[in-house]
Amino acid sequence: MQVLVYGAGQLAQMMYLAGVPLGIDVQAVDVGSETVVHPVSKQPLDMSLMQAIEAADALTVEFEHVPEHLLEEAAKSGKLMPGIETILVGADRVREKHLLDTLKVANCPHQVVTDLAQLDDCVATLGERLIIKASRDGYDGYGQWRLTDASALEALKAQLSSLDLTAVPLVVEQMLDFDRELSIIGIRSKSGEIKVYPLAENLHHQGQLHVSVAPATDISDELTEQAQQIFTTLAEGMDYVGVLAVELFQCGDKLLVNELAPRVHNSGHWTLTGAITSQFDNHLRAVCGLPLGDTVELGPSAMVNVIGCTGFSRDLLSIPGCHLHWYGKTVRGKRKMGHINVTADSYQELGNKLAELAQTLPEEAFPKLAKEAKRLQRV
């Protein structure tokens, strides 16, 4: 079988690696040059995009910001999974909020702004502590602004005055005092079967995911059920096929959806070594119509992103249960270069291993690690 993935980054690479054992040949589309490339070497393959679309059993995406004309061409084949509407939901916060509200899925109080004058109404309705997000092309903290005091509103308006809000509206959200960030990742098959991984707890720094721990600690049965209900409502509501990631805020005993990613997700990379079947394996199984694999965890796991950093010793590989997953990219700014997965038999042991790991890594690139290690050591 063949699967064509739009996007040729690390997620396509990890799908390729999961595909080979399943007998599935994964090819990637470099969406800039619109060429078909090998997902690992990134070398062009000897076929046109149209040929690759025709030859593929399934088409899918590794990121939601695929140019719309490519998505439309892909959708025409009838083999794009998840569907184009769903991918566009992931790429556009206005569509996303509309979907969440339509499906009555709890999310942050928000307003859509197409004119800066509406911001006054936002402050009146949502309060003066706001997060303002461009509705499209924003990721990893780009295209986001914060208001913490109404007196700064005019300055913010001035800052935003050059934006074309008719073309790209803003989504203005109430800044929530949430307890922590979680995510639920699951898979829905063509026949409607759903499996979910245990909830992950995600630590961000400057808008980027730094550390995930799965299963998240201190998760009540009620919280698990709430997350699974949210996942099911969304996946069924979108008639979704494949892996879907749902980012959540926990506020007390209540979960609110922060955002959706219609694809395999960074907070699910722990499944490569920490679950019976990885998210990449399961995504391919779903889009190829194969039975879904078990999503049970093997024990507590952590995933540590390597961001904008290559200068560290490979001695970390000597920590038992510590695996490096390198993406083979050139270092640039805050680029994700790879991740480190750590598995253990208990949270305490996981904490000990992360503490050991923290000592081998430069603190400035891994600012969340030592503290998280300490927290887990005390669980």
251 contacts a copy of itself (rule: CB under 8 A): no
What whole-number distance in Å separates Cα of residue 157 and Cα of residue 155? 5
Block residue for tokens 């566009």: 88
Q: Which is nearer to a copy of itself, 39 or 82 (CB)?
A: 39
Are the C-beta atoms of 337 and 307 separated by less than 8 Å? Answer: yes
Name the token pair of 25. Answer: 């040949």
190 contacts a copy of itself (rule: CB under 8 A): no
CB of 363 to a copy of itself, least distance (A): 22
Eight-class DSSP state of 365: G
**Window of 15-23, 57-65, 71-79, 212-220 that interacts with a copy of itself by CB under 8 A:** 15-23
Report which of 301, 378, 101, 40 is spatially closest to residue 25, judged by C-alpha positions.
40
* Sequential DSSP letters for 259-319: EEESS--GGGTTHHHHBSS-HHHHHHHHHTTPPPPP--BSS-EEEEEEES---S-GGGGGS
Residues belonging to the chain? 379
Does the annotation flag 240 for ligand binding? no
Q: Which of residues 286-305 bind a copy of itself (CB under 8 A)?
A: 290-294, 296, 298
Q: Which is nearer to a copy of itself, 204 or 323 (CB)?
A: 323
CB of 277 to a copy of itself, least distance (A): 8
CB of 51 to a copy of itself, least distance (A): 16
95 contacts a copy of itself (rule: CB under 8 A): no
Block residue for tokens 């699951």: 186
Does the annotation flag 258 for ligand binding? yes
Name the token pair of 101. Answer: 């509200």
CB of 59 to a copy of itself, least distance (A): 20
Q: Site for a copy of itself (CB under 8 A): how many residues?
A: 33
Per-residue contact string for residues 35-74; x = within reach of a copy of itself by CB under 8 A: -----x----------------------------------
Q: At what angle do helices 10-22 and 279-287 cross, to 10 degrees?
A: 70
Does the annotation flag 127 for ligand binding? no
Q: Which is nearer to a copy of itself, 259 or 281 (CB)?
A: 281
CB of 194 to a copy of itself, least distance (A): 14
Eight-class DSSP state of 13: H
Are the C-beta atoms of 180 and 203 separated by less than 8 Å? Answer: no
152 contacts a copy of itself (rule: CB under 8 A): no
Q: At what angle do helices 221-237 and 93-102 cross, to 10 degrees?
A: 110
Side-chain half-sphere exposure of 364, counting CA atoms within 13 A: 6
Of 2, 9, 17, 309, the one binding a copy of itself (CB under 8 A) is 17
Report which of 375, 14, 11 is spatially closest to residue 216, judged by C-alpha positions.
375
Block residue for tokens 């899925």: 105
Block residue for tokens 């997620």: 11
Does the annotation flag 259 for ligand binding? yes
Of 86, 277, 301, 305, the one binding a copy of itself (CB under 8 A) is 277
Q: Which is nearer to a copy of itself, 145 or 326 (CB)?
A: 326
Does the annotation flag 205 for ligand binding? no
Per-residue contact string for residues 310-349; x = within reach of a copy of itself by CB under 8 A: ----xx-xx-xxxxxxx-x---------x----x------
**Coil, strand or helix at 355:** helix
Binding residues for ATP: 93, 133, 138-144, 173-176, 181, 204, 258-259
- Which residues would be at the binding site for a copy of itself (CB under 8 A)? 13, 17, 20-23, 40, 272, 276-277, 281, 285, 290-294, 296, 298, 314-315, 317-318, 320-326, 328, 338, 343
